[in-house]
Amino acid sequence: MTEHNIPNGLFRSSVDQMVDRAIEALGLSADAAKFIKATNSILQVKFPVSIQNEIHVFCGWWAVHSTHLLPAKGGIRFSPIVNQNEVEALSALMSYKCALVDVPFGGAKGGLLINPGDFSRAELRQITRRFAQELARKGFLNPATNVPAPDIGTSPREMSWIADAYKELFPEDVNHRACVTGKPVNHHGIPGRIEATGRGVQYALHAYFRCIEDGRGAACLENQKVIIQGLGNVGYHAAKFLQNEDGVKIVAIVERDGAIVDMENGLPVNEVKKFMAATGGVKDFPNVKYIEDGNSVLEMECDILIPAAMESQINGENAARIKAPLIVEAANGPVTYEADQILTTKGTVILPDILVNSGGVVVSYFEWTHNLSHMRFGRMQKRFDEVRGRHILTALESLSGQEAPEWMRLELSRGADEIDLVRSGLDDSISSAFDSMLEIMAKHERIRDYRTAAFAVAVNKIARSYYELEF
């Protein structure tokens, strides 16, 4: 992956150009474009932390793109290459993403300039808590106004540290649990949040294949050859679900130290993940082909290419050589505006990031409402549904004079667990968003690709909110 070669500002420019294209297709005014694209506020903090008797000064940001709805929502990434332009671009994407999937949040994003691998667990906890304190004291961490979540370099562990730091500062806030999402389940998180973004990638593919294959959906995914770039949280869960549940063949995995390929048999995703955890990379994974220049693998023949790593990985330099007929953007901004134009012109279908990787913010919304209600989903109706299911089963057996098979008995008499409700809500959110994209494409002759459709849906909603609030 070429994350160190991304020109500063390219990502932000690409996002703005994609929004401009949607605004032009909708025929919105230049004034609308100005206030939709503008970043509402950006906080930069620098704070000292004493580590092993030495003072380290850290720099971090929290960008709020839109406050047309509150709280503003976005992930916090810990990275040695994060910068203000990147954080602002990501905050804008969050606004459009939330609008597309009908999550009532504004868009925000945070970043801390740090290499997490340089510090011990205790040191990282100390740094994370200090960053959280800086955000909270300046009004940029609060259940009602700014709610972070995990991103690159962070996890449920860091979210629990942030939540504890906020609680210590504001112990009287009864909704303190909702100041951050993506927490561990035993620390007031919600089941399904860790894998939510990867699960959303799967649901986005289901929605797309239902559209193009006469409603057959997931069945058409079987034996599709897939190349995945990045086997982090998002890429791993997407690959695992697609392989285990839909029967796709993961033929290549691109990582920081190169790529591994098995076009004939496919790769065992779980085994590769275990190998990476033990060795730090994919090199020397047994019985597969290793390619040192991992990015060249993006240009290989396959049915579906899923970039799930960093932004700007497919750009003007390599776009013309991409052979995959379908690109599914699991990462934020993996395809630049220039590359998007090249690929669209030659007929490549791109499912855009603001749809494909929206699963994280959708389930974060569920976690946030779960925390505010102080009650798990399904608690009040699960037993009622089980009893009603048994009554229906009894009625069916009485009317038919036959005993129901065991599988039917189990299914009809089972009430939904919280994880079932989370997955159902996620599937519905992404499917509904995809349907809204199809609707706007049908209404506007100038909107012919899924990315422009997704941004058009989002921009329309945000523009209406601003006009209703300001005019």
CB-facing half-sphere around the CA of 266: CA atoms within 13 A: 19
CB atoms near residue 359 (< 10 Å): 31
Nearest to 148 by CA among 173, 126, 170, 165: 165
- Cα(218)–Cα(203) distance, integer angstroms: 9
- Which are the catalytic amino acids? 109
Backbone angles phi, psi at 112, to 5 degrees: -125, 125
Nearest to 183 by CA among 173, 195, 193, 197: 193
**Residue owning tokens 């294209």:** 21
